[in-house]
Each structure stands twice: as structure tokens, then as C-alpha cells.
Amino acid sequence: MRRYLRIVVLCLACGFCSLLYAFSQLAVSLEEGAGGGGGKPQAKAASWLAGGGRGAARGAGNAGSTAHPGGADRYSLKIQPIESMHLAVVACGERLEETITMLKSAIIFSIKPLQFHIFAEDQLHDSFKGILDSWSFLQTFNYSLYPITFPSENAAEWKKLFKPCASQRLFLPLILKEVDSLLYVDTDILFLRPVDDIWSLLKKFNSTQIAAMAPEHEEPRIGWYNRFARHPYYGKTGINSGVMLMNMTRMRRKYFKNDMTTVRLQWGDILMPLLKKYKLNITWGDQDLLNIIFFHNPESLFVFPCQWNYRPDHCIYGSNCQEAEEEGIFILHGNRGVYHDDKQPAFRAIYEALRNVSIFLKKFLCGYT
């Protein structure tokens, strides 16, 4: 009986010591949170954190030590500002509906706040503003509208490259100088999971990588670049630039190897010489130029799987995106106009479902009042 009693007493003593340790650790964490020690310095707060502006953060407040009425200091947790994810898109012509549907899919599925950078022709600005302002009650995004702009000396040549305005994406690192990292997507993109997930791939970049894209094809037998390209291209089958994740700080700093000169050139200096050299040999415009750049600088590219840029090419000739088969499609890319014809009914059905769903779904899911 005494033996059992001793075991019980020992267990109680161990439990009591564990409880004391847990409370002591909690106290330390609270003091460190209040003092702000060890926290990562924050960049300038985005406008949605300023309070009162569109997209203001819900439930976030300033904390630290506050004066208690009795004269003692009362500690509260310090809430660090949440950094926005930056998403850019370029819209020209009849692309308003597609772009709005893409933005809606990003808002509905994402967790962290979003900062949209929308480059559009002037006649589309009022439409974008009217729709996005009507969504401002969500307080989960902010947006900026920009005109379509190219270097003045070659503006006409850049604008007509491939599709109208498509090459605008090449100049985003030079225009958005205050933005560190950015996700660019085409208008015909649909997010089927949070933007947060692809945004997290930035942390997987090694020290030399500046951008991430998916291969143009997984199956070389149906690849375009390896069969028809008349210029250098990345890897075995080239890359597709419809979904492009960028560390733009690194892009602006890097000096790129090239086949035009022995001198390495920065991003703003390499684009026009490339166009002049290859303009008679490229078919897909700015995407071809990106393939040429990363052919000469392969160490600078992070390649993510096809499920992050799933296109009709992955199923039109039989399924050839293994990652999508195993884990699902993360980002849908409806190129070839498949959202608007009957060639790929599954693509069209997903697009129409997201186009028609009310943005109030986000309000319902997140419990906004």
C-alpha cells in the first residue's frame, strides 16, 4: 500500500512541476511579445492596415505594455502586421469579365490579405473600380489601377508583341519599384486553392533563384518549343509564363548572362536588345523572351509542377500532368479560349461556376458582419 502511495505522490509532484514550467514559459512569451524583442522589422504598412481605408484588417490592434489604472504595467500580446500578397494582372480588350472572375477566385480562396496591381486600358478603369469598390466590405484586399505603359521610344513595338498589352508583364519589376515580391497571372487564370500556397514557394527559392514558372509541356513528344522554336528556350520543353512568381528585388539587382555581349546586363537593359535580335524568330512574344533569358541563366529559375499552371495541353492529348492526377489541380489556366467554347467542357464549367458565384460567399465563409 505504501508503494502505491509513493507512486501517486510522485506523479502528483511531477504534474505540479510540469504545470509550473508551463506557466513560467507562458509568462516569458508574454513579456517578449510585449517588449517586441526578436521580431522581424516590418516594411511600411500597406494601406489596408492604416485604418479606415479599403481593405483594412479586421480585429488587428496595436499592443505592447499599457498603463494599468493602479499604476502597474499590464502586458498584452503584440500583433505583428500581416504582410499582403501582391498579385498583378494585365487586362486589355474584352478581358474585363475574365479578370474579375480571376480576382474573385483569389479573394474567395485566400487567407492572407491581397494587394492587386491591375494594369488595364483606360476605358476599363471605371468598370474595375465600380466592381472592386462594391467588394470593399470584405476588407481582405486592396487594389491599384495603372495605365498600360511601355518605354516611350519603343512603345508601339512592345504593345503589338504577341497579344495587345501582353508584354507589359516584362516591365513590372521596373514599374513596381517598391514591391519586393509579386505573383503575375494571365487574365484566364482561376485559383482553386489559396494564393497563400503558391506565395509560400518564395521561401523555397535558393540564393540564386529570382522567379518561378511551370514547364510549357511535360511530354516532349507534344512539346512546342523542342519541336518548333527558332530561338533558345529553357530546359527540355520551355516554360510557360501565364503564372509567374517573382522576387523582383533580386530581379532588379541581377546582372544577366546573354548571347548579345560578354557584358552581363540588368533587367531594364536586356529586354530591348533581346527583342531586336529575336523579333523575327519568336512566336509567343514576351514568353519567348523569358525563355531566352532563363536559357542563359538557368540557375535563376525555380520550376514548380504543372498543377500550379494546369492548361488544356495537359489533357487534350491524354493526361500528362502526373502531379495533378495525384494531388489535384491548384491553378487552372484556360488558354486557347476554352472558357468560352465547348472544346473543354470541364474548364468552361469551372469558369462559369466561379463567374456566377456571389462574392458574398467569402463573407459567409469568413463570418463577416
The residue-averaged pLDDT of 16-21 equals 44
- The pLDDT, as a whole number, for residue 165 is 87
Closest CA to 189 of 307, 90, 333, 91: 333
All residues at 6 or more sequence positions from 219 whose CB lies less than 8 Å from its CB, including other chains: 237, 317, 320
Q: How far apart are CA 351 and CA 105, in angstroms?
A: 10
- The pLDDT, as a whole number, for residue 30 is 38
The model's confidence at residue 222, banded by pLDDT at 50, 70 and 90, is: confident
The model's confidence at residue 258, banded by pLDDT at 50, 70 and 90, is: very high
User: Is 0.75 surpassed by the pTM of this model?
Assistant: yes
- The pLDDT, as a whole number, for residue 54 is 32
**In the chain, where the domains are located:** 85-366
The residue-averaged pLDDT of 247-275 equals 96
The residue-averaged pLDDT of 163-185 equals 94
The residue-averaged pLDDT of 314-339 equals 94
The residue-averaged pLDDT of 167-189 equals 97
Helix or strand (DSSP H, E) at 347: helix 345-356
- Of 112-126, 151-165, 298-312, the range with the lowest mean pLDDT is 151-165
The model's confidence at residue 364, banded by pLDDT at 50, 70 and 90, is: low
Torsion 321-217-165-181 (CA) sign = positive
Fold of 85-366: Spore Coat Polysaccharide Biosynthesis Protein SpsA; Chain A (3.90.550)
